[in-house]
Amino acid sequence: MTRFFPLTATLLAAGPALAHPGAHLHPHDGASWLAVAGGLAVIALAGGLAVARQRGRARK
């Protein structure tokens, strides 16, 4: 599990680079997955806060 996230990030970054000869990424390719990654980060943060709040209520 500790290598899952780096491997996933590598595979996501390698896809566009493998589409053309030479190692490069197009700037416009990053816009779509950056929005998705930002949304997932917000969801993860909200989930973490909700879990922390529930744990705090359970201890009282």
Does the residue 33 lie in any domain?
yes
Range of the domain at 49: 29-60
Give every CB contact of residue 23 below 8 A, 6+ residues apart in sequence: 17
Does the residue 14 lie in any domain?
no
Cα–Cα dist 4/12, whole Å: 12
Please compute the mean of the pLDDT values over residues 12-21 and round it to a whole number: 66
Does the residue 52 lie in any domain?
yes
Does the residue 35 lie in any domain?
yes
Kindly report, residue by residue over 17-27, the tens digit of the pLDDT.
Answer: 666 666 555 66
Kindly report, residue by residue over 27-48, the tens digit of the pLDDT.
Answer: 666 667 777 888 899 999 999 9
The pTM of the full predicted model, rounded to 2 decimals, is 0.47
Cα–Cα dist 37/35, whole Å: 5
Does the residue 34 lie in any domain?
yes
Q: Which residue has the tokens 């973490």?
A: 48
Does the residue 11 lie in any domain?
no
Amino acid 41: pLDDT: 94
How far from 9 is each of 4, 35, 56, 57, 58, CA to CA, in Å? 9, 15, 33, 36, 36
Does the residue 38 lie in any domain?
yes
**Domains: count for the chain:** 1
